[in-house]
C-alpha cells in the first residue's frame, strides 16, 4: 500500500500535537516532516510529551515540498496566508489549513470550506481545504438540519463554553492555570470571528436566512471540549424535529443525534459531534458538543484528508471517549 506522504507546518502547538497523535497511527500515512523553525533539531516528544515512545521524528526548519502529497498548516491565524504567498508549493500538493485565513469564500482563493456534514462531495474533489473553526463546527451542527428545511425563521440564541486549549499553547492572562481554574468568563460576545463562517454556511443551505445569530462565547475551567446550547422559535413538534435531524445526519460519519441528554465527556478525545433536542414552549433547544481539538480542529482535518484521498472518512479516527 502506497502511503500518503505528509508535511506539517507550525508543528509545536496544541492542534499540531493532536494532529501528530492521529497521523502517527494512521494506517495510510507517512509523516515526512514537521516544520518548526524555533524547535528545529529537537525531538517531537520534547514538545508533545504525550508522544514519548511513539515516534522518533524531529522538528525541522526544512520545507521539502517535493516529497509530500499533502500539507497541514497549523500556523497561527494570519500566518497561513503569509506562508502560502511566500512559498512555491507544487500544485500537486493538497493543502489543509487549520487557521481562519481561507474560511470566507473569496474569488481570491480556491479553498473549499471543510465541514463534511455540509460539503462532503466538494471536499472529495478539492485540492485545498479551509478547516472550520471549533465553535463554528459545534454551532453549525446544531443548526444545519433546520436551515436545510428553511426553518430558521427567527433569531438564534447561542451560548457556548470552551476548554482552555481553545486559546492555544501560548500563555496569556486568561489561559494560565491560576486564572482559569475555578473560573469562567465571557469574551467576544456577539462579534466572535466564527460568526462569519457560520452565516456563510447557513445561507448556503437556506438562501433567505437573514436573522441574527446571537452568540455568547464562554471560557471554561476545563481543558478541552465545547458545549453549546442554542435555541430558536420553531413550530415543529419535538418528534418531527428529531426526524428532520436524524434524517439530515443519517449518513454522517461522526455526527449523531441522541435521545438522551448528553454530557461533554462523551465527545472528549473523539472526532464525534453529538446533538440533542428539547422543546420548551415555542422554542427548540439544541444541545451540541465536540472536542475542540479533534472535531473542532485536527480530527476534522484528518477526516478531510481521508475524503480528499478517497479513504473511508473514519480511517485513523477510531478514538475512544474519556468517559470518566
DSSP string, 136-168: HHHHHHHHHHHHHTT---S-EEEEEEE-GGGG-
Second CATH level (architecture) for the domain 134-290: 2-Layer Sandwich (3.30)
Q: What is the pLDDT of residue 15?
A: 93
Neighbours of 80 (CB within 10 A): 23
How many angstroms from the chain centroid is the CA of residue 64? 27
Q: What is the CATH number of domain 4-131+297-308?
A: 3.40.50.720
How far is 318 from 177, CA to CA, in rounded Å?
Answer: 31
Running DSSP on this structure, what letter comes out for residue 48?
Answer: S
Cell reading at 125: 474533489
Q: What is the pLDDT along the chain (324 residues), one digit of tens a residue?
A: 799 999 999 998 889 999 999 999 999 999 999 999 889 999 999 999 999 999 999 999 999 999 999 999 998 888 999 999 989 999 999 999 999 999 999 999 999 999 999 999 999 999 999 999 999 999 999 999 999 999 999 999 999 999 988 766 666 778 778 888 899 999 999 998 999 999 999 999 999 999 999 999 999 999 999 999 999 999 999 999 999 999 999 999 999 999 999 999 999 999 999 999 999 999 999 999 999 999 999 999 999 999 999 999 999 999 999 877
Q: Where in the chain is the domain with CATH 3.30.360.10?
A: 134-290
Three-class secondary structure of residue 298 per DSSP: helix
Q: What is the pLDDT of residue 236?
A: 97
Catalytic residue among 96, 123, 134, 264: 134
234 as an active site residue: the answer is: no
- CA 293, 297, 298, 300: dihedral to nearest 10 degrees? 120
How far is 235 from 241, CA to CA, in rounded Å?
Answer: 9
Strand order in the sheet with 213-219: 185-186, 213-219, 156-162, 226-233, 283-290, 273-280, 255-258
pTM for the whole structure: 0.95
The answer to whether the CB of 139 falls within 8 A of the CB of 228 is: yes
Three-class secondary structure of residue 133 per DSSP: coil
Alpha-carbon separation of residue 180 from 21, 166, 216 (angstroms): 26, 12, 18
Q: What is the pLDDT of residue 168?
A: 66
Q: Where in the chain is the domain with CATH 3.40.50.720?
A: 4-131+297-308
Three-class secondary structure of residue 215 per DSSP: strand
- Candidates 75, 21, 53, 94; CA nearest to 291 is 21
Amino acid at each position: 500500500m502506497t502511503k500518503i506522504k505528509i508535511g506539517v507546518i507550525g508543528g509545536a502547538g496544541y492542534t499540531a500535537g493532536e494532529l501528530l497523535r492521529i497521523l502517527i497511527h494512521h494506517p495510510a500515512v507517512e509523516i515526512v516532516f514537521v516544520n518548526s523553525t524555533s524547535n528545529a533539531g529537537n525531538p517531537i516528544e520534547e514538545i508533545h510529551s504525550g508522544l514519548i515512545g511513539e515516534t522518533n521524528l524531529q522538528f525541522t526548519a526544512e520545507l521539502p515540498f517535493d516529497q509530500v502529497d499533502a500539507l497541514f498548516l497549523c500556523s497561527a491565524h494570519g500566518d497561513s496566508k503569509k506562508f502560502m504567498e511566500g512559498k512555491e508549493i507544487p500544485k500537486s500538493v493538497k493543502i489543509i489549513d487549520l487557521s481562519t485565513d481561507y474560511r470566507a469564500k473569496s474569488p481570491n482563493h480556491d479553498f473549499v470550506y471543510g465541514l463534511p456534514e455540509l460539503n462532503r462531495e466538494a471536499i472529495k474533489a478539492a485540492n485545498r481545504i479551509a478547516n472550520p473553526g471549533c465553535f463554528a463546527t459545534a454551532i453549525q451542527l446544531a443548526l444545519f438540519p433546520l436551515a436545510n428545511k428553511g426553518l430558521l425563521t427567527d433569531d438564534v440564541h447561542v451560548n457556548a463554553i470552551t476548554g482552555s486549549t481553545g486559546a492555544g499553547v501560548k500563555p496569556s492572562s486568561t489561559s494560565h492555570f491560576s486564572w482559569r481554574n475555578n473560573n469562567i468568563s465571557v469574551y467576544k460576545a456577539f462579534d466572535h470571528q466564527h460568526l462569519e463562517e457560520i452565516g456563510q454556511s447557513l445561507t448556503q443551505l437556506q438562501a433567505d436566512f437573514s436573522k441574527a445569530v446571537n452568540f455568547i462565547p464562554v471560557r471554561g475551567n476545563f481543558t478541552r471540549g465545547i458545549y453549546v446550547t442554542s435555541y430558536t422559535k420553531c413550530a415543529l413538534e419535538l418528534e418531527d424535529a428529531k426526524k428532520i435531524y436524524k434524517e439530515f445526519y443519517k449518513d454522517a460519519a461522526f455526527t449523531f443525534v441522541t435521545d438522551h441528554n448528553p454530557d461533554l465527556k462523551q465527545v472528549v478525545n473523539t472526532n464525534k459531534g453529538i446533538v440533542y433536542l428539547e422543546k420548551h414552549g415555542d422554542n427548540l433547544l439544541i444541545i451540541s458538543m465536540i472536542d475542540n481539538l479533534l472535531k473542532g480542529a485536527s480530527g476534522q482535518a484528518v477526516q478531510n484528508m481521508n475524503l480528499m484521498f478517497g479513504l473511508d472518512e473514519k480511517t485513523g479516527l477510531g478514538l475512544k471517549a474519556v468517559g470518566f
